[in-house]
Amino acid sequence: MPVTVFKRKMTGLVEHSKSVYQFANVALLSSLPNRCQLCQHRIEQLDYQRLFPNQVLSGICQVCLAASLYQHEVCLGCGREIPLLQAYCGKCLKLTPMLVVAPCSYHQGLGPLIAAIKYQQQCAPLNAITQQLATRINQLIEHKLIRAPQVLVPVPLHPNRLRQRGFNQAWLIANRLSQLLDIPLDDSSLTRVVDTAPQADLSGKQRRKNCFNAFKLSDKVQYQRVALIDDVVTTGTTVDEIARLFSQQFIYVQTWCLARAEAPGLLD
């Protein structure tokens, strides 16, 4: 058998195996008990699989998911509500801070689910929320408000924290986005070299001190545009510290996350 024919047959078998696996995975997930972690009602797929083929809605129902997403346009700089689809509000237009893309506010519905992913390993809603992030990204790229990056870089955990937690939620999100958006994932160029204290209970000043020089970036990064991936952006201290390292190599950085925890009073 000619080599080219053999390669075509093997490629066909691999693609067929992938299709069978995806179908089996969807069928299996559809048959498992599936209740919304917010309202506790049974999750019905309804038209979800028509909108997102080969995807099973899990961990959150369509009603809770739709209600938790942004119901208005938001500034990609500070998260403030704005009347039109644009990158920045008037205030941020003067400062042009780093662009932060998220499908929802951490404070308006999905916060408990995202916290449960990180601290309780309840990852059932992760795919559905990441799918909404991918949809938001595609919308912004289509309207030329952001540029697609060349690579996705998950915010790394220190090895001690990784062993303790067992997984890096930012890597899980980045891996799923890589599949959905067909953008490569790079989890080797950026490392966390300081085992920092958890940021949750720290003030802004303490967060900045906590993250200073906590990361190391390879000297030979070959990209011009990257997207940092994390679960939540609060004060932006972590991603700002990482962006500082990239900027030293003249690399453009934006941040993509599942939710944004805006400053107190900003959404009132």
156-165 pLDDT, tens per residue? 999 998 998 8
Query: So what's the pLDDT on residue 50?
Result: 79
Percent of the chain at pLDDT > 70 equals 81
Q: pTM of the entire structure? A: 0.82
**H/E segment holding residue 233:** strand 225-233
Cα–Cα dist 185/214, whole Å: 21
Query: So what's the pLDDT on residue 230?
Result: 96
Question: Across the strands, what pairs with 191?
Answer: 216
Task: Name residues whose C-beta falls within 8 Å of residue 99's C-beta, 6 or more positions apart in sequence.
Answer: 76, 77, 87, 146, 254, 255
Question: Across the strands, what pairs with 105?
Answer: 260
| Better pLDDT: 196 or 253 | 253
Summarize pLDDT for 236-263 with one digit per residue, the tens: 889 999 999 999 999 999 999 999 998 7
Is the pLDDT confidence value at 20 over 60? no
Is the pLDDT confidence value at 99 over 90? yes
**103 within 8 A of 132, measured Cβ to Cβ:** yes
Cα–Cα dist 33/41, whole Å: 11
* E-assigned strand segments in the chain: 73-74, 81-82, 100-101, 151-154, 190-192, 215-217, 225-233, 252-260
Boundaries of every domain in the chain = 33-198+210-260
| Assigned CATH for 33-198+210-260 | 3.40.50
DSSP-derived letter for residue 108 is I
| Better pLDDT: 130 or 34 | 130
Mean pLDDT of 119-148: 95
Surface-to-core class of residue 191, CB atoms within 10 Å of its CB (0-12 exposed, 13-18 middle, 19+ buried)? middle
| Better pLDDT: 139 or 20 | 139
Reference 228, options 266, 267, 192; nearest CA is: 192
Reference 127, options 88, 81, 176; nearest CA is: 176
**185 within 8 A of 178, measured Cβ to Cβ:** yes
